[in-house]
Amino acid sequence: MIYIALPACNEEQNISSLLREICLSSAESIPASDVEVVVVDDGSTDRTAAIVGDFAASSEAGEFPHAKVTLIRHEGNRGLAEAIKTGLTYCAGRAGSRDIVLTMDADNSHAPGLAPAMVRAVREGHDVVIASRYRRGARVIGLSPGRRLLSLLGSWTFRLLFPIRNVRDYTCGYRAYRATLLQEVLRENPNFISERGFSVMVDILLKLRARSPEVIMTEVPLLLRYDRKRGASKMDVSRTITETLLLIARRRFGLP
C-alpha cells in the first residue's frame, strides 16, 4: 500500500488536476500497489474540501479502482506543520509493515510521475527518499531568482551545519518514508513533529539525522514545476527565514 499525504489550504485551482493525475496513473506508475491519497484540508475558505470530497466519492464508487481519496478537515487553519502531522499520523496509524508513506505539495508543482522512483528506492532499502533540486538532472521551472537563491543558501547552510550523507535538499516537501520508520518515531514521541511553520520539513530531517546510521536516506532528482501552480504562494518568506534560523540555533545547542 502506498499512502500519499497532501496538506492543502485554499488549493481549489490546483487540487483537482493533481488528484486526477494521481488517481489515473496509480495503476500504471506504481504497479502492484494500491494508493490512498490523504488530503488534509487545513481550514480552507474556498472549494478545496468540496472538490476533494467529490474525488473521495468517486473513488468509493469505483471510478479509480487502484486509488482511494480520503479527506481530513481542520476546522481552522493550523499551519503546514499541523497538516503534515495530521497526515503522517493518519497514514502511519493505518500502514502495514511493507507500506510506504509519501508527502507532496498540493499546489500541483510536484509531479506524481516521480513517485515510482521514490517508492523503488525505499523498496531497495532506503528509509527516507527526498525529491531534490540539487541533484544532476533536477530542474526548477517558474521559481523567481530570489527564491532560488534563498533555497540554495539554505541547502548549503544545512549541509555545512547538519551534514546528512546523500542529502542536499533539506526543505523539499516531496518525500517518501518507510512506514515502519514513521511508526517507530511517532510511537516513541507523539510530538515528533513539533515545528509550527514551513521549517517543519527541515526539523523532521534533523530529528531523523540523530538516529543515524540506522536511518538511511537518499535523493532522486526533482522536476519542480512552479509554472503549473495557480494562485499565490502560502509561504511568508520573512517568517520562514526567522523560524528556520531559530530552529538552527536550537538544534546546534541541543535545545528542544
Residue-level pLDDT at 147: 84
Distance CA 245, CA 177 (A): 26
Residue-level pLDDT at 146: 85
Can you read off the three cell numbers belonging to residue 255? 535545545
Distance CA 134, CA 19 (A): 27
Distance CA 160, CA 178 (A): 26
Residue-level pLDDT at 60: 79
Residue-level pLDDT at 33: 66
Residue-level pLDDT at 239: 79
Strands 100-103 and 67-74: unpaired
- Residue 77's closest CA among 30, 117, 40? 40
Contact between 235 and 198 (Cβ < 8 Å): yes
Fold of 2-252: Spore Coat Polysaccharide Biosynthesis Protein SpsA; Chain A (3.90.550)
Per-residue model confidence as pLDDT tens digits over 164-188: 999 999 999 999 999 999 999 999 9
Can you read off the three cell numbers belonging to residue 187? 510511537
Residue-level pLDDT at 82: 95
Distance CA 11, CA 193 (A): 23
Q: What is the pLDDT along the chain (256 residues), one digit of tens a residue?
A: 999 999 999 999 999 999 999 987 776 666 556 899 999 999 999 999 999 999 999 887 677 788 899 999 999 999 999 999 999 999 999 999 999 999 999 999 999 999 999 999 999 999 999 999 999 999 999 888 888 888 898 899 999 999 999 999 999 999 999 999 999 999 999 989 988 788 899 999 999 999 988 999 999 999 999 888 887 666 677 777 888 888 888 887 776 6
Distance CA 145, CA 28 (A): 35
Contact between 169 and 202 (Cβ < 8 Å): no
